[in-house]
Amino acid sequence: MSSTETRHLEAVPITEGGHHFFGYYDKCPWNASGRYHLGLKVDVYGRQPNADEAAIIGMIDTEDGNRWIELTRSYAWSWQQGTMVQWLPSDPESSIIYNARDGADFYSEILNVHTGERRRLPRPIYSVTETQALSLNFARLAYTRPDCGYAGLSRAEQPPFHPTDDGVWTMDLETGESRIVVDLERLSQIDNTPEMEIWPTWVNHLTWSPDGSKFVFLHRYYRKDPKRHFSTRFYVANADGSGLVKLHDRTYFSHYCFASNRVILGHGNDEHGKKNYILFDLEDGSETVYGDDIFQSDGHCTYSPDGEWLLTDTYPDADRMQTLILCHVATKRRIDIGRFSAPRELDGPIRCDLHPRFNRDGTKVSIDSVHSGARQMYVLDVADIVRG
């Protein structure tokens, strides 16, 4: 039986001074032991970053008074997704991977946070497993979707609409070898629309399945012009790009996450045209609306490590408040654990979404927020809820 209750928890700041944030919701900022929490520090506020403004990549030592430790800096970052900094799955205790830029070249780098050893890879990353990464063209993304793309390459020249040499890449994290596995021309030939011949199309939100055997992504194109809304298609493919299947094509589709290797939760138009969370079964192709009586809006959704809890948030409501939500998956018991103000002047690409993410045992939640007047990171202890 679904239900909704309010139990606001203390949001403890783990950063102060300047502006700090982590970025997207689909990456865990804590290392394997839980001691270090990754973050970015910037001087920019209230506008898009310029190409010559770096983000400092650092980590917070939660066992030493939340001491900020500067690690490196990057000129490849955005407000919504940061530098894609994350702990390396093959060494989640000591090594990170993140995107960077050298002149006009975007690339990724692996850094051991204790020894300082670095290794450069030829392409930027989006989602990684222990052995391989998914990659896209962040320069194209800066033109089509500046919320997520990186400054640094000119946006004055319109890219080709749907070329064969742009789309989704995979990259070997050991050798750096990369290849395009799903190109934009191939996507444009699937139920082509006139709009695909007017404006450049693009891919975004690439995500590996938990076992790395498949990946999912969004294919987007503007319906009328870049000042209007875009259409979104949701796809799944095997790791080598074969077996491409369109999972959703009803104009609107937004955030999603894997519930298991078989099931994905995503927010999109259901078969009746209503915006809802939907469970997609990759094996039998079925769709099931989830929580339509307790969720009224889109959010950045993530499952707890044990799969028993769903963590999500909302965009600012009429009172400019963002709600942080935990939901017990089996019983659909929704618990609102926080409300945070968001100023109107930070709407659009420079907004500060909460982008909630669990720690590795599901007992803590980390968010980005500007409710204090600065962009900072906060941690909420949810152990009593998830263990109770």
157 domain-assigned: yes
Q: Are 165 and 201 in contact (CB under 8 A)?
A: no
The greatest distance separating any two alpha carbons of the chain, rounded to the nearest whole angstrom, comes to: 57
Q: What is the C-alpha separation between 119 and 82, in angstroms, rounded?
A: 20
> Predicted confidence band at 227 (pLDDT cuts at 50, 70, 90)?
low
Tokens of 210: 């938990």
Distance CA 136, CA 108 (A): 12
First-to-final CA distance of the chain: 18
Q: Report, as an integer, the average pLDDT of 174-198.
A: 96
Residue 227's alpha-carbon distances to 144, 184, 230, 372, in angstroms, are 11, 22, 9, 31
The three-class DSSP label of residue 81 is: coil
Q: Domain count of the chain?
A: 1
**Residue 317 CA neighbour count, 13 Å, CB half:** 11
Q: Is residue 84 part of a domain?
A: yes
pLDDT of residue 269: 96
Cα 69 to Cα 85: distance, rounded to the nearest angstrom: 15
pLDDT tens digits for range 210-225: 999 999 999 999 887 6
Query: Which residues span the domain enclosing 159?
Result: 25-314
pLDDT top residue among 3 and 253: 253
Separation between Cα atoms, residue 323 and residue 314, nearest integer Å:
5
The answer to whether position 337 is within a domain reads no
CA distances for 260 relative to 138, 212, 376, angstroms: 28, 12, 31
Residue 263: CATH number of its domain:
2.130.10
Instruction: Locate 229 and state its tokens.
Output: 């809304």
Compute φ and ψ for 383, nearest 5 degrees. -60, -40
**CA dihedral defined by 366, 352, 205, 119, rounded to 10 degrees?**
-70
pLDDT of residue 229: 84
Checking if the pLDDT of 157 tops 90, the result is: no
Task: Please report whether residue 371 resides in a domain.
Answer: no
Contacts of 10 (CB under 8 A, 6+ apart): 380, 381
Q: Is residue 16 part of a domain?
A: no
**Mean pLDDT for the stretch of residues 56-80:** 97
For residue 231, the number of C-alpha atoms closer than 13 Å in the C-beta half-sphere is 20
In percent, the amount of the chain with pLDDT more than 90 equals 91
For residue 385, being part of any structural domain is answered with no
**Is residue 331 included in any domain, yes or no?**
no
| In-domain check, residue 163 | yes
